[in-house]
A and B are shown apart, each in its own frame.
Chain A
Amino acid sequence: MAFYVFLEWLIGLLLIAGGLFAFVGSLGMLQFKDFFMRLHGPTKGTTLGIGCILMASMVYFSVVQPGLHVQELLITLFLFITAPVTGHMLAKTGLHMHLRYTRDTRGSPPELRDEDVGQGRVARPPRPRRPASEGQKRRWRLRR
């Protein structure tokens, strides 16, 4: 009996932890200042959150229904493999499109300018930036 109480607490804890992590990931995506900071929240927080929720589902169905239910591990594994790939591709896209970033975002890799585009074919030419307003400049402290 105590074992089932423990399992119930475990499932509840995993559910709330998963919801919190997903919430924090989306909050970071909403609140951070430039694209390269915003990339951090979803790729780490949300992935961990959904991992927690899938673990909770796995434990719940293994307890409630007969047999072991490990199909959720498939989704967890898939998401944990694909999240870094997605983050990498999105970061490359952001670097390629010359998104502006704040002064606190460090590094400006020049090697991504020509090499990764391939044969000098540019998807879309670097467009002229619209001048930022004064308030935006104060907020962003633009590097360029």
Chain B
Amino acid sequence: MLDTALWISLALIVAALAMNVVRLARGPDIPDRLLALDTMYVNCIALIVLLGLWLNTKVYFEAAILIAMLGFVSTMAICRYLLRGDIIE
């Protein structure tokens, strides 16, 4: 039961990642690619959590927290760079 649910969830997340890669490759403008990267790191957090469920361990949660924080900060940095032409003024 749980194995089936895990497989379905894994397949859906991997399909979502593939669609993000498609948008990242053909996004017409820079914000589109930035949005695709942002969604990709969120999906990667989901993938890491599913890996932790699969291996029945909690080692990977620190990695998930790190990816969450660094992804947010990097998205903010690129947004600021596109908005103001500078990150820290």
Is B38 a contact of A22 with CB atoms below 8 Å? Answer: no
**What is the CB-to-nearest-CB distance from A136 to chain B, in angstroms, rounded to a whole number?**
10
| A12–B1 touching, CB < 8 Å | yes
Judge whether A90 is part of the interface by a CB distance below 8 angstroms.
Answer: yes
- A: number of interface residues (CB 8 Å): 59
What chain A residues lie within 8 Å of B31 (beta carbons)?
35, 90, 93-94, 97, 99
Give the interface size class of chain B: 35 or more
Q: When each residue 69-89 of chain B gets 1 if its CB lies under 8 Å from chain A and 0 otherwise, what string results?
A: 100100110011111110000
Q: Are A93 and B82 in contact (CB under 8 A)?
A: yes
Are B38's CB and A90's CB within 8 A? Answer: yes
Q: Which residues on the B side are within 8 Å of A42 (C-beta)?
A: 35, 38-39, 42
Chain B interface (Cβ < 8 Å from any Cβ of A)? 1-2, 4-6, 8-13, 15-17, 19-20, 22-23, 29-32, 34-36, 38-39, 42-43, 45-46, 49-50, 52-53, 56, 58, 61, 64-65, 68-69, 72, 75-76, 79-85
A60 to chain B, nearest CB (A): 6
